[in-house]
Amino acid sequence: MDFIYFDNSATSFPKAPGLGKAMGEHIDNNGFNICRGSYEKSYQLQGTIIETKERMCSIFGFDLPQNVIFCSGATFGLNLIIKGILKPGDHIITSSMEHNSVARPVTAMKNKGIIWDVAECRKDGSLDPSAIEALICKNTKLVLLTHASNVSGNMMPIDEISVICKKHGVFFALDAAQTAGSEIIHMNNNNIDALVLPGHKGLLGPQGIGAVLLSARFASELDTIIEGGTGSLSDNFEMPSFMPDKFETGTLNLPGIIGLAHSLEYIENLGINEINFKKRNLTEKFISGILDIPHVSLSGIKSMDMRCSVISLNFKNIDNSNAAYLLEKDHGIITRCGLHCSPMSHKTLGTYPLGTVRFSIGLFNTEKEVDNAISAINEIVKKHQ
């Protein structure tokens, strides 16, 4: 590769080895539909889809494969949860580090009569669980949190918060867009009612596929947000109430699911702990390499505790957008610059409206690439003193 890719928070690259081949083989040899045809090949494919849901359950500590809903990605999953569960008068609590895929649907629902409170995070992006508990009131229906910030990389204290939610009988939903595939997430042990997973980031799958895992209680209270054919109870205009048909309507992205099945197998074989170890070491190396560079600051949490492999920098003597441009032009280093679809986070971190240059480390980055990035940052800073 003649470039160094540090934009894995947007989408991972490269993908799981062999992903394109697995998807191509499916499309060329097996591109049937499921839940519609009563022929052998359709049943076989349906079996593969169910096995993929079982694999999801084994990776994410869940025991209801029928409550794994495939969808187009995290944005769709978050919309389903927010719009399907909240009714006028209901109260939702989020943190002040959420992505627009939470902030925008919640705002749309606010315009329809729901109440939204934001638990303010500290200036480094971290959240005190008591800030959530203090906001819970009698009409609180849902606490929805990002597991890790896509701007600063800090992780939310979900163990404590899920216990608080359980104590108050409030649903707890987790946006695992930045952690799925590299942090251990246990749906049952963490009392998670709804877990949102994009397939194309840390899970190393293709774009356009993701999943939502729903607890039995949450799934039964959740309303549909789209309706249509399921291949079941076809003589009825009402949506089936059983899972997964209640929420999986229309033809699924089967090539995407086959791709995800391939990448999940790869991840399971490697082990999440191993992946976490590798990304954590690279992140630590990166952070310790830039902390002493003058005129560059790390946004948010400095310590390695409670953080993932997302690193946001603020250049003082040069525009962040110019720094990102020079990183690519002179050093072949690809980053992302700006607000990263999360203005709330930048307001919390004090980097609004200019944003940051984000380096997001992936499984396939190397120590040499991290060294190259540190020297490139040094060089850009020196040239602009």
Ligand X SMILES: Cc1ncc(COP(=O)(O)O)c(C=O)c1O
Window of 80-88, 122-130, 170-178, 293-301 that interacts with ligand X by CB under 6 A: 170-178
Say whether residue 345 binds ligand X (CB under 6 A). Answer: no
Interaction of residue 205 with ligand X, rule CB under 6 A: no
Stretch that binds ligand X, among 71-79, 109-117, 261-269, 362-370 (CB under 6 A): 71-79
Judged on CB neighbours under 10 Å (0-12, 13-18, 19+), 311 is buried
CB atoms within 10 A of CB 297: 17
Does residue 150 belong to the site contacting ligand X (CB under 6 A)?
Answer: yes
35 or 341: whose CB is closer to ligand X?
341
User: Does 175 engage in binding with ligand X (CB under 6 A)?
Assistant: yes
Cα–Cα distance, 224 to 303 (Å, whole number): 41
Report which DSSP code applies to 70: E
Does residue 75 bind ligand X (CB under 6 A)?
Answer: yes
Which positions from 223 through 282 interact with ligand X, judged by CB under 6 A?
Answer: none
H-state helical runs in 254-295: 254-270, 272-290
Cα pseudo-dihedral 363, 368, 370, 372, rounded to 10: -140
Residues 157 and 165 sit within 8 Å (Cβ to Cβ) = no
Conformational region of residue 4, where left means phi above 0, alpha means psi within -120 to 50, and beta covers everything else: beta
Q: How far is the CB of 152 from ligand X (least distance, A)?
A: 11
Minimum distance between the CB of residue 121 and ligand X, rounded to whole angstroms? 14
- The answer to the question of residue 178 lying near ligand X (CB under 6 A) is yes
- Which is nearest to 178 in space by CA: 257, 279, 46? 279
Interface residue with ligand X among 143, 177, 287, 363 (CB under 6 A) is 177
Among 59, 74, 243, 376, which residue interacts with ligand X (rule: CB under 6 A)? 74
Cβ at position 183, least distance to ligand X in Å = 13
95 binds ligand X (CB under 6 A): no
CB of 344 to ligand X, least distance (A): 11
In terms of phi and psi (left: phi > 0; alpha: psi -120 to 50; beta: otherwise), the region of 204 is left
Segment near ligand X (CB under 6 A); pick from 121-129, 171-179, 223-231, 324-332: 171-179
- The C-alpha atoms of residue 137 and residue 135 are separated, in whole angstroms, by 6
Q: Is 201 helix (H, G, I), strand (E, B) or coil?
A: coil
Residue 198 as a binder of ligand X (CB under 6 A): the answer is: yes
Residue 101 interacts with ligand X (CB under 6 A)?
A: yes
Residue numbers at the binding site for ligand X (CB under 6 A): 9, 73-75, 99, 101, 146, 150, 175, 177-178, 198
